[in-house]
Structure 1
Amino acid sequence: MFVARSIAADHKDLIHDVSYDFHGRRMATCSSDQSIKVWDRGDNGEWTCTASWKTHSGSVWRVTWAHPEFGQVLASCSFDRTAIVWEEIVGESNDKQRGQSHWIKRTTLVDSRTSVTDVKFAPKHMGLMLTTCSADGVVRIYEAPDVMNLSQWSLQHEISSKLSCSCISWNPSSSRAHAPMIAVGSDDSNVTYGGKVQIYEYNEVTRKYAKAETLMTVTDAVHDIAFAPNLGRSFHVLAIATKDVRIFKLVPLRKDNSSSAPTKFEVQVLAQFDSHNSQVWRVSWNITSTLLASSGDDGCVRLWKANYMDNWKCTGVLKGNGSPVSGQKGGSCIKYHSVKHFNRIVFMYYLQNSGLNTKI
């Protein structure tokens, strides 16, 4: 059954992104009103806005949390061509706001010449690294050499794409058998150039990222992309939000480890759904990669789950106002995105017989 909860976010314009921290007890939202809000979940389950501040001089497209091992750190990106790293600081005893926390700007990354469309921290095992992508078709990877000094970031890699970049996703696998990998999506309007999803892999020999695969069957604008948590699999699963929802399986083919050539993959389409009947804006996995949530311009959040035969089906639908669609079951806590409800955040939970909730 569904349990839905709605929060009046009080943003003054469209909310573009909602991001949970590692533990799922903190949440950040960003908006075209140029602000970020941080929300904390109390013991009673209620969400309270604990911080709100103006961040950029343009619409804020994305906000993301670093792993808590590196502190309470956020990164945001904007139409103003910058990405910014923020850190939460607890007031000292001589502070006017004794014991209270506030967010301060640690650094502004200004390498992009156009709108910075997405920002993501790398998986924890890679250290404190931050990746951005821009409308100029460049993916940039930064590293903080000293995690105690977040004002210093060095540009480690620039990956040039022929297409305007709209979204990125790190492969979260920590297996030594898998090299660091980034998926890049494009919303480029150039219809003559196919393959709006590109996979880049880091090579230890060349110490550079090289294109390993292009998903040529994805020819429409890509709005979001997400690698599924790996959990020891030998292959990778990638979800894509375009005019529909697509799930791909990437099976690495044998490779000589001494070779400088990137890994080649056998690409399989696991599922493709057009149930939204509109543009799909966000896709998000739960921690076990057994549930995928998607949201679209139809004002609905949909949940997808595979059965024992690996056939994916829709297991739940939630309307934008928080009410379940008649006859549907299922759900999981997700981030919600809809242009029709720009001042409201909707949460959905999947209550199983065991009474456990699974967070996406």
Structure 2
Amino acid sequence: MFVAHSIAADHKDLIHDVSYDFHGRRIATCSSDQSVKVWDKSETGEWHCTASWKTHSGSVWRVTWAHPEFGQVLASCSFDRTAAVWEEIVGESNDKQRGQSHWIKRTTLVDSRTSVTDVKFAPKHMGLMLTTCSADGVVRIYEAPDVMNLSQWSLQHELSCKLSCSCISWNPSSSRVHPPMIAVGSDDSNVTYGGKVQIYEYNENTRKYAKVETLSTVTDAVHDVAFAPNLGRSFHVLAVATKDVRIFKLVPLRKDSSSTGPSKFEVQLMAQFDSHNSQVWRVSWNITSTLLASSGDDGCVRLWKANYMDNWKCTGILKGDGSPVNGSSGQSSTLSAALGSGTSQGTLNAVGGRNSKRTPFTPPLRRFTSPKIYHQPAYY
């Protein structure tokens, strides 16, 4: 059973994204009203808006947190063709500001010629790196050489994807066996052109990223992609949100010991679900990659879980108001997520489980105006 209560977001337009921080105690929201808001969870479990500021001169599509090892840092991207990096500073200059925090812009990334559609920080073990993708079909990877000076970012790589880019996901694996890897999704509407998801891998010898795989069976517009946490697997798992939910398995083929070229993969479709009967906007994994959450235009959040035979099943459905569908209770107690309802009224839904303090999902949602927070009572 899930319990819901609402948050008065006070955004003046549609909310496009919500992001939990690493510990699940803070939420950032962004909106077409050109602002970003930060919400902190109190000891009583209530969420309070602790900061709100104008970030861009156009709709803000995405907002994301850096790992707390680098401080309280946010990145946002916008229709205004820019991405920005923000840092929270605790005022100490005078008695009035002492102990109070405020967010300041550290840099604006202006390389894109069109709308910047997604922004993601790289996994912590790679250092402080930031990736953006744009409607101009270019993925850009930036690095902060000095983590103490976030005003300096250098453009390290530009990847031309040939198609308009809508979403990106880093492979979180920290294994030395797996080079850094990025999945890029395209929302190009031309269904005759396959390969709307492309996989890029870093080559240590050339010190460049190269395309190693194209998921040619994905022909519809892609709205979100999400690599599952690896946890020591020899293969990779990627979820794709398009007009349905798809889960792919990427198995690296054994390379010759003298080979220095890009990796080759065997791509397997593990599962495909059209239960939303509509566009799917977000997909998100739990920390153990045993549970996938998806949200779509049907106004529902659906939870997917694999059994011991590796067969994926729907284990729970939540409507926009948090109530279960068809008696489903959302059985997985490890769920911790912010999920979008996709209803015409637009609500922000956050679902929490026993691990919600340490293992929050990235929120799968699209557009909404008045947040709701869901949590599963800890009666175990």
TM-score of the two chains, using structure 2 as the length reference: 0.86
Select between 78-87 and 36-45 the one with higher mean Cα deviation.
Answer: 36-45
Gaps of 5+ in 1: 333-353
Q: Distance in 2 between matches of 1:37 and 1:286?
A: 24
Shift of 1:320: 1.1
Contact 1:34 1:55 in 2 (8 A): yes
Q: Secondary structure at the match of 2:69?
A: helix
Shift of 1:258: 4.8
Q: Distance in 1 between matches of 2:24 and 2:355?
A: 12
Shift of 1:97: 2.1
Contact 2:318 2:330 in 1 (8 A): no
Contact 2:24 2:356 in 1 (8 A): no
Contact 1:317 1:331 in 2 (8 A): no
Instruction: For residues 54-89 of structure 1, give each alpha carbon's deviation from its aligned partner in whole angstroms, at most 9, with x where no partner exists.
Output: 110000000000000000000000000000000000
2:146 matched residue in structure 1 = 146
Instruction: For residues 318-354 of structure 1, give each alpha carbon's deviation from its aligned partner in whole angstroms, at most 9, with x where no partner exists.
Output: 111222223102167xxxxxxxxxxxxxxxxxxxxx9
Q: Distance in 1 between matches of 2:282 and 2:31?
A: 15
Q: Distance in 1 between matches of 2:121 and 2:353?
A: 32
Shift of 1:190: 2.6
1:210 matched residue in structure 2 = 210
Contact 1:185 1:196 in 2 (8 A): yes
Q: Secondary structure at the match of 1:57?
A: coil
Q: Secondary structure at the match of 2:206?
A: coil
2:169 matched residue in structure 1 = 169
Matched, 1:355 2:324: no
2:308 matched residue in structure 1 = 308
Q: Distance in 2 between matches of 1:252 and 1:90?
A: 46
Contact 1:144 1:153 in 2 (8 A): yes
Shift of 1:43: 1.3
Instruction: For residues 79-129 of structure 1, give each alpha carbon's deviation from its aligned partner in whole angstroms, at most 9, with x where no partner exists.
Output: 000000000000005153221000000000000000000000000000000
Shift of 1:12: 1.2
Shift of 1:153: 0.1
Q: Distance in 2 between matches of 1:283 and 1:170?
A: 14
Query: Per the alignment, do residues 75 and 258 of structure 1 end up closer, same or farther by CA in structure 2, a change over 3 Å counting?
Result: farther
Shift of 1:355: 8.3
Gaps of 5+ in 2: 333-351, 358-380
Instruction: For residues 233-291 of structure 1, give each alpha carbon's deviation from its aligned partner in whole angstroms, at most 9, with x where no partner exists.
Output: 11000001000011101000012465342111111111111111100000111111111
Shift of 1:46: 1.0
TM-score of the two chains, using structure 1 as the length reference: 0.91
Contact 2:252 2:266 in 1 (8 A): yes
Q: Secondary structure at the match of 1:8?
A: coil
Q: How many pairs align? A: 338
| 1:89-238 superposed matches below 5 A | 89-94=89-94, 96-238=96-238
Percent identity, aligned pairs only? 90
Q: Alignment RMSD, CA only? A: 1.6
Select between 212-221 and 255-264 the one with higher mean Cα deviation.
Answer: 255-264
Query: Per the alignment, do residues 270 and 54 of structure 1 end up closer, same or farther by CA in structure 2, a change over 3 Å counting?
Result: same
Q: Distance in 1 between matches of 2:84 and 2:95?
A: 25
